[in-house]
Structure formats: C-alpha cells, structure tokens
Structure 1
Amino acid sequence: MILRTPLPEFFNDICEVVRLFISVSEIRLAEPGQDADLIHTHAERDGQWVEAFDYIGAHREAALAVPGGDALERKKQLKRLIKHTLYLLLRDALGVRPPWGSLTGIRPTRLVYEALEHGMDEAQALNWLSRTFDVSEHKSELLGEIVRAQRPVICHDTGVFDLYIGIPFCTTRCAYCSFASDELGNGRMVEPYLDALLREIAATGELMRTRGLKVRAAYMGGGTPTALSATQLTRVITAAQREFPNAIEWTCEAGRPDTIDRAKLQALLDLGITRISINPQTLCDRTLEIIGRRHTTRDTLDAYALARSMGFDDINMDLIAALPGEDIADFERTMRGVCELAPESVTVHTLAIKRASRLHERGYNQVDAPTAQRMVELARDMAHAAGYVPYYLYRQKYMAGNLENVGYSRPGRACLYNIDIMEETTHNLALGAGAISKWIFPERRRIERAANVRSIELYIQRLDEMVERKAHVISMYDDAPLN
C-alpha cells in the first residue's frame, strides 16, 4: 500500500489503523508525484485541525478545536484525531468493526484512568471510551471489571519500586517467540551470565539503598528461570533478596513444565517463594510439537500436582489462544482442563506473530479474526464460570484479531507485579540482558527508560555501562523529587 500524508511523523500511527482492517505486508510513503492508495490531508483553519482521508473512492473528514496545553498534549490530541478519522473511513468503507474500535495502544485501561482523573465516574468513563474510540460494549465491560479489580491494590507510592530479574535461557525456542532469549545448548554462557547478573544486583542494590527506596514486588522471568539448576536459582534469588529485602510478593516464572522438578521447587520454597507460573500454553500435544515445546500435557499435569503437593499455594498458568492448527474445540478443551486444575490465576494470551519469530519466517497465517475473537470470549466466559475475575490486560502488535491478553485471578489473588508493570504506576528496576528499567515521573506525566542490551555477550562485556544507565535515570528522579 502506498500512503500520502503531509505529516510523516504520524506514519506509524496511520499504519497501525490500516492494519486493524487490512492485511498488508508493507506500507510505504508516496514519492513526489507518485499515485497513492490512501491519501491523508491536514489543514488548520479557524482555530481547528481538519483531517481528511480518501481510500478506494470513500472520503472521511473530521475537525477538532486546536487544544491548549503543552506541545506533547497537542500532539497526543492530533494523533487521536488522525487515527479516529481514518478508522471511521475504513470501518464504514469495509464494513468491519474491530472490537477495540480505533484503539491500537498497549494499555487501554490507561484511558479509563485518565477519564476518572478528570472527574468522571466509572460508567461515564466507559461511555466516553465507547463514544470517542468506538470500543465495543463487550470490551468496555471488560475494562470496567479490570479497573474495579485493580483500584484497591494499585500503587502510586514513588518511594517503592518493583524488581524484575531476567533469565534469558530456554531449553528450546518456541516458534512464536521473539524475546531476547537463547537456547541453553551446552550451557557455556550460563555461569558467565549469572556472574554478571549478580554484579548488577549488587550495584543496583546500593543505588536503591542510598535513596531509601523499597522493593514492593519481585518477578523472576525470562526465558525460563527453571532452565537453571536448583543451585543456580538459589544463588541468584538469595543475592536479590539480600539486596532487595522484604518484597510483599515474589514470583518465579517456572514456565515450561519439563524444567520443573522437586529440587528446584524445594529451593524456591526454602527461599519463601510460593508464587510460581506453570505455563502449558495448550493441553493439545499435537500443538505443543508444532510450536517447539519439549513437553506434553502429562508433563504439565505432573508438574502442577508436584507443586501443589509441596505446598505452593499461588500458581498461575499461561495459555495462548489461536495457536497454529487449533480450532475453537481445541482451545475449549485446554481452558476447561486448566479451570479444573483450579490454579489461583490464569493468563490468556492471544497469539501475536512477531517478525523475529519462526512462525513469521515460515509464513504462518493467523487464524481468522472471528475465530480468535470467539476463543477469547470463550476464555472470559469459562473463567467467570470458574470464579475468576479479570485483573490486568495488555495488547500487542500483530495479534490475532487485534485482540488482547488478559490475566484472570481468584478474588484477592491478583499479581501485584503484573498490575504495576502494565499500568506503569510504579518504578521498575529491571536486571539482566534485554531488561528495560522504567522510572515514573507522574507530575510530569513522563517515564524515563534505561535499557540493557539484548545480547548476552554484550551484556556481560558492558555491564558497568548498564548500571550507569540506571544511575543516570535515577539521578533525574533525585533532581525532581515527587513526594
């Protein structure tokens, strides 16, 4: 598709809306004099922005009074106007209404909180969301449930932070994965990586102590943390708990059932960790083979039973809707099987085919949007029937049906870390290769990031630089106290 726009700084935003409706491999800006498939015009007159789009003979125009405020706020409002104008054109021209309307962002809950901050009650906020962005009633109701679950536990204390520790190793790489993780192979990089990680833990622990900042929730993810040995897990977590003591929640993403054994689970229990995630993704063995998982449904059931028998009382299980080769009946069997196990929480992801994944390399076509949507709706209905409530949500690019990932939990068992990281209300100190720390400046409505390099080798070589990046961001916080 060829696009002509006088505002190329909004090119990516326009592309996001196009991909809500049309599967296109490439969208390019028109060269001077080149014909375009999609034409955008922009004007400012009589104190208004006027946006117009033309596509296959259809035309749509909309205007908005140029708002006051700072440049960032004006840019945000202009972006919304551009995206929604194009959305309305394509919706009417193609006869398709995406469930999330014109929203393409990762965190739709943020808009609900924004409306609440402006004095609306929940019903008014959800109505505003539907009117302004054409969000479906079903998705508005979902957001309302999530906000109600979050509000009693959401944190705005700038004196605390969450901790993320990344273990970027897996026994194999899943076909849908695009994360910065390496297969274990012969394991030659594991010990050098852990040595560097322990150095980063010690250095950042000192940074936090000197500023009087306290850890709220800690999360060990990856990759697959339980790809490590019991001894290695103990080594890393002991160091983290020494530097960042008294977290009110500690999660270890055990992940793949085939990496879980009694020794590793006992090591976690000995360290006081009783919240883990056991992630089958599906209970269909045929699909597990297709996506490159080296475990079976029986492995999942055995790992879950072992964890329960040892005393783990807070278990999450991850599932993926719209996996290759699965139909609605396959997904329903998986969801029913997991609900019968009765973990404290279930996270239902919708397959997103990232460009760096093997599924993308193979040219896999996602399931059609109506099928993906039915799977996600089925998950919600079955979760409700089993006593779960949705407590966090996020969206991704390239997701089947332009849908969402939703975390469900038993009442009172929501994962604090997941809420904090998705709503971006709490500082996040992220350690390890590919980890991205975020420091929150609420009064400035700004987030500063400090990213670690993705490469394990470069992370080890440039560790001092990674620590310095964090120190720089935290020093900006020192210069602008928020309490």
Structure 2
Amino acid sequence: MKVEQYFLCGDALAYSGAVNQIMVLFEVLPATCPLGSDVNPDQPGGFLPENAVLIRNRILPEKDAQIALLTEGFFRCAAHKPGRVVRQATAAIVPGEHDREMKRLLMHNVLYIMRKITGTDPGPWGILRGVRPTKIVHRLLDKGLSKQQITEKMTADYAVNAAKAELVTKIALYQRPFLLPAEGKACVSIYIGIPYCPSRCLYCSFPAYVRPENPRELLVFLNALEQDIDTVIKLIERYGLQVETVYIGGGTPTSLPPASFARVLDRVSRLITAETKEFTVEAGRPDSIDDGHIEALCRYGVTRVSVNPQTMQQKTLNRIGRRHTVEDIIKVFGKFRKAGIPVINMDVIAGLPGEDEQDMEDTMQKISQLGPENLTVHTLALKKGSLLKANLAEYDLPDEKTTARMLSIADGYASTLGMNPYYMYRQKYMTGNLENIGYCQQGTECLYNIQMMEERQTVIGIGPAAATKAVDRSTWRLESRYNAKDVLTYINRLPSYLNERSKLLTRLFAHREEET
C-alpha cells in the first residue's frame, strides 16, 4: 500500500517528533488538517481519507518494573477495506530514562506497523536516525556488555539488521583502544576550517565559497584566521593541553594560493605539541594543488593528506562539476607518494548520478592500483542547499539496491587492500538510508576522525563553520560552540566567538591551571 499522509491521536500526540522520524523513512507526510470530530474511536480507520494512516498510542500501566506501550496503526486505501496493525513493546524502567525509552518504543512500534502496511523496508538501520550509531555501542561497552550482547541489543532494541549490528559493533571495538584516555592527561584535537573551493560540486552543501579574486578580501580572512589560531595557542599553553591531532579541512584548503597556504601551515604548526600524533590536510581537488602546496606540506610536517576524487569516471567528474581529469588524480597521488607523506586517504561516493556497479568496480580497480593507506566510502546524500537537490529531475540516480551493491564492491576492494573499517557516520537523506565508512590499514587510522565522531575528546574548532566541542570525561557531557558559516559574519563577530570559546574551555580546564 502506498501511504501519502498520517494522522496522530491518543498518547502519540505527545511524541509527534518520534513518529515523524520514522514516517520520513517511508516518505510519508503529516496530514495538513485534523480528522473530523465524529471519528469512531473503536473503528477510526473507516473515517480516514484514502492512502492514509492513523497512529494511536496508549501508555499502559507499569507492571513488574516494566513500561509498556501499545501502538495501533489504522489504514485505508482504495483497493482494501480499512485495516489495523497492532504492536506492543515493553522496556525495563530506568531512572531518568522514561521519556527516552518511550520514544524508542514508539519508533520501534511505528516502524513495525509501517513495514506491515506498506510492504516495504526503508533501510537496514531500523529506528536509528542519528549521525553516530557507534556512540550507542560505546555506551553499552561502558556498561560491560559483550560483543554478542551488544549485537543482539542493537537488533532487538533498535531494529538494526544483523549485518549492520555486527558492523557497527566491530567498528566500535576497533576504536576502543584509541578512546580510552590516559589518566591525568588533557588531550585535545584541533580542527581548522578553510572555507574556499576551486568550484562548487553538484552534490555539495558544505559551507564553502569559491576563493575570492580580490587579494585584499583573502588577506582579511587570513588575518582573522591567524587571530583565531593565536588565541588557541595561548589556551594550550595556559592549561598545559596536549594536542593529539590537528586537522585542516574545508572547503578545500589547497585552493589557497601556495604562499597563503604556506602561511596558514606555518601558523597552524605552532599548535603542535610534543604529544601530537597526526597532522592531516585535506587536499581533495587535484586542480587546486601544485608543487608549492606539496613543498609546504612536507616543510611543516603534515603526516596525512586526503585526495578525494569521489569517482574515477571522467563522465561523472564532468557531470558533478569537477574541473580535472582522472589522470590529474593519478598524477597528484604520485606526487604525494614521491614526497613521502606517510598516509594518503582517498574518498569515493556510491550513488553518484549516472553511475552503476560497473562504474564502482572500475573506480575501485584504479584506486587499488594507486594503493592508498586509507579509503573513505560515502553514500550519496541529497543535501538541502546542494545543486543536485535543487535540480533533481535532471539527473538519473542509481536506486537503493544498486547503491548498496556499490558499497559492497568498495568494501571488497578495501579488504583486498588490507584495510579494516574503523569509523562510520550517517547523514539525513542518504540513498537507501545507508552509511559512510572509513577504512584503514593497521596503524594508519585517522585519529581525528575517531575522536571527532565518537565525541570523547575535546575538539577545538578554528575558522568559519568550525565547532568547539568540550567533553567532560567524567560524565561524557558535551557542550558546544559554533562559528558562523558565512566568512564575513565570522570575521565581524570573531571577538565574540573567541570570548565564548575561551569561557567554555576555561570551565573545562581551569583546574589544570590551579594544579600547575
């Protein structure tokens, strides 16, 4: 049955957001007008418009230290008589978790009901809608659960399919040694955002701008960025912080002219402490890189670069707005390898317009011949604000099953390259409700990616669109501050951002100043 809209009644009204998160997976919209007041509460399906669903909830009396929720889904379509699907779910009472558990039970019930009514399955991740599913696994590991107990809980409590439950648990276990903090050490990671790109890619909605032609405009930005960096240098010195990783992203940092790029690296290098294990720079676009950029990367000790072709199909590069060739990618990879940069990552996207399994096979063959240490495989997300989303009717996208097979092909090649999946995240509006996975050869893990995704280490953000996330390691409580995405707004409001970040980090680390 094709469902076009849904209605709520009973206790479901109090949790409308939870219901909507599941309905979005089925592309079902909330009704724009309520049902009439004459609806029979015993047979509400008969009063529904065609191709509609009514979700009714009842919170049942607590019994045997269990909360219980009964959810009914009434439906009506032209080809069938009105019908009903019912599911009851229970959970143990956990102090302080009543509301969270009610939402989880409701989402689980609604997913079950909608699968039955529509005869479709919207994806393998069940009720999980967040960016970081591994965080759930880490919380369960904190409680001492075994691998088997966790995979069973992911399938039972969150309706994740068995293969994905196994995958997310495997990744979390791989990450675990990198997340357990050393006693007495205040380790942080640092992110620096460069907001410029050579051009805008079709699928991209990141806050990036084509590099300004006016040298004065670029100089104003660089001056502001240096002020931002210098403030963080003082915080590091004041509180005796140990910088584990430094990551320059964007945008495309190498879109800066070589002299400006070297100037940024020089300033950023002053953030590095004796404990720094990793210095990454995104060098995603080969059309933005020349020998001057590579010389600067080597001079300032960059240990990892990310070359992001997204595909090795020339037809697709042209289609998505890349101003370079497949041969350009191969040449710049060779230059990085010759320069001796220890770790090279390459990004690909499954589900790009006009591509299929054969295209992914060919792309992965070409990447395998290059032999990167890291590989990041993304699923195409139809992001709000992207040119692709705005002009979707003009493009032929692979369907969900094709995209899933493309991910499987990439996974197979990663395995032949001796790589393990080591971090993952998900996004809204991904094809097939799938995932993005980072792979690495043993010992080449991008520590920043792990720390940033699992949010168990403070990350200090510098530059436009950067976020500072302060983590209290005693409770894993997270408090964030965000810089403006717009470059001019960032520059004009910089004193305010610096003040807010300083106050946030002072609350977190002031005791260290007293101890020293």
Counterpart mapping for 1:203-214 below 5 A: 203-214=231-242
**Quick check: 1:377 aligned with 2:405?**
no
Larger relative contact order (CA 8 Å, sep ≥ 6):
1
Provide the alpha-carbon RMSD of the alignment: 2.3
Question: Per-residue CA shift, 1:411-438, capped at 9, x if unaligned?
Answer: 1111000000111111010111111111
**Quick check: 1:469 aligned with 2:500?**
yes
**Quick check: 1:300 aligned with 2:304?**
no
Q: 1:10 to 1:238 in 2, by over 3 A?
A: farther
Corresponding residue number in structure 1 for 2:417: 386
**Quick check: 1:254 aligned with 2:254?**
no
Counterpart mapping for 1:229-248 below 5 A: 229-246=257-274, 247-248=276-277
Counterpart mapping for 1:35-434 below 5 A: 37-47=52-62, 48-56=67-75, 57-65=83-91, 67-70=93-96, 73-97=97-121, 98-156=123-181, 159-188=186-215, 189-246=217-274, 247-364=276-393, 366-434=397-465
Query: Once the 2 structures are TM-superposed, how far is the Cα of residue 23 of structure 1 from its aligned partner?
Result: 3.1
Partner Cα separation in structure 2 for residue 164 and residue 471 of structure 1: 16
Partner Cα separation in structure 2 for residue 32 and residue 66 of structure 1: 34
Q: 1:150 to 1:29 in 2, by over 3 A?
A: farther
Which sits farther off after the overlay, 28-37 or 408-417?
28-37
Query: Once the 2 structures are TM-superposed, how far is the Cα of residue 400 of structure 1 from its aligned partner?
Result: 0.5
Query: Once the 2 structures are TM-superposed, how far is the Cα of residue 329 of structure 1 from its aligned partner?
Result: 0.6
Query: Once the 2 structures are TM-superposed, how far is the Cα of residue 210 of structure 1 from its aligned partner?
Result: 1.8
Q: 1:207 to 1:3 in 2, by over 3 A?
A: farther
Secondary structure of the structure 1 residue equivalent to 2:382 = coil
Partner Cα separation in structure 2 for residue 132 and residue 58 of structure 1: 23
Query: Once the 2 structures are TM-superposed, how far is the Cα of residue 313 of structure 1 from its aligned partner?
Result: 2.2
Q: Which amino acid aligns with 1:192?
A: V
Q: Which amino acid aligns with 2:483?
A: N
Q: Which amino acid aligns with 2:8?
A: R
- The answer on whether the counterparts of 1:107 and 1:394 sit within 8 Å (CA) in structure 2 is yes
Which sits farther off after the overlay, 107-116 or 284-293?
107-116
- The answer on whether the counterparts of 2:211 and 2:256 sit within 8 Å (CA) in structure 1 is no
Secondary structure of the structure 2 residue equivalent to 1:255 = coil
- The answer on whether the counterparts of 1:51 and 1:81 sit within 8 Å (CA) in structure 2 is no
Secondary structure of the structure 2 residue equivalent to 1:152 = helix
Which sits farther off after the overlay, 58-67 or 133-142?
58-67
TM-score (norm 1): 0.93
Identical aligned pairs, as a percentage?
Answer: 34
Partner Cα separation in structure 2 for residue 471 and residue 41 of structure 1: 48
Partner Cα separation in structure 1 for residue 494 and residue 228 of structure 2: 7
Partner Cα separation in structure 2 for residue 336 and residue 11 of structure 1: 47
Partner Cα separation in structure 2 for residue 38 and residue 102 of structure 1: 19
Partner Cα separation in structure 2 for residue 18 and residue 282 of structure 1: 32
- The answer on whether the counterparts of 2:22 and 2:111 sit within 8 Å (CA) in structure 1 is yes
- The answer on whether the counterparts of 2:69 and 2:102 sit within 8 Å (CA) in structure 1 is no
Query: Once the 2 structures are TM-superposed, how far is the Cα of residue 55 of structure 1 from its aligned partner?
Result: 4.8
Secondary structure of the structure 2 residue equivalent to 1:312 = coil
Query: Once the 2 structures are TM-superposed, how far is the Cα of residue 312 of structure 1 from its aligned partner?
Result: 1.8
- The answer on whether the counterparts of 1:393 and 1:407 sit within 8 Å (CA) in structure 2 is yes
Q: 1:155 to 1:194 in 2, by over 3 A?
A: farther
Q: Which amino acid aligns with 2:409?
A: L
- The answer on whether the counterparts of 1:205 and 1:244 sit within 8 Å (CA) in structure 2 is no
Secondary structure of the structure 1 residue equivalent to 2:461 = strand
Partner Cα separation in structure 2 for residue 46 and residue 16 of structure 1: 26
Partner Cα separation in structure 2 for residue 432 and residue 27 of structure 1: 39
Partner Cα separation in structure 1 for residue 428 and residue 447 of structure 2: 24
Q: 1:83 to 1:163 in 2, by over 3 A?
A: same
Secondary structure of the structure 2 residue equivalent to 1:153 = helix
TM-score (norm 2): 0.87
Secondary structure of the structure 2 residue equivalent to 1:453 = coil
Partner Cα separation in structure 1 for residue 214 and residue 332 of structure 2: 23
Partner Cα separation in structure 2 for residue 130 and residue 65 of structure 1: 14
Q: Which amino acid aligns with 1:104?
A: R
Corresponding residue number in structure 2 for 1:440: 471
Question: Per-residue CA shift, 1:311-346, capped at 9, x if unaligned?
Answer: 122100000000001011111111121122110000
Partner Cα separation in structure 2 for residue 394 and residue 407 of structure 1: 9
Corresponding residue number in structure 1 for 2:42: none
How many residues align? The count is 478
5+ long unaligned stretches in structure 2: 38-47, 76-82
Work out which of the two has the higher radius of gyration on C-alpha atoms and give 1 or 2.
2
Q: Which amino acid aligns with 1:274?
A: T
Partner Cα separation in structure 2 for residue 341 and residue 122 of structure 1: 35
Corresponding residue number in structure 1 for 2:24: 19
Partner Cα separation in structure 1 for residue 103 and residue 437 of structure 2: 26
Q: Which amino acid aligns with 2:244?
A: R
Partner Cα separation in structure 1 for residue 279 and residue 99 of structure 2: 39
5+ long unaligned stretches in structure 1: none
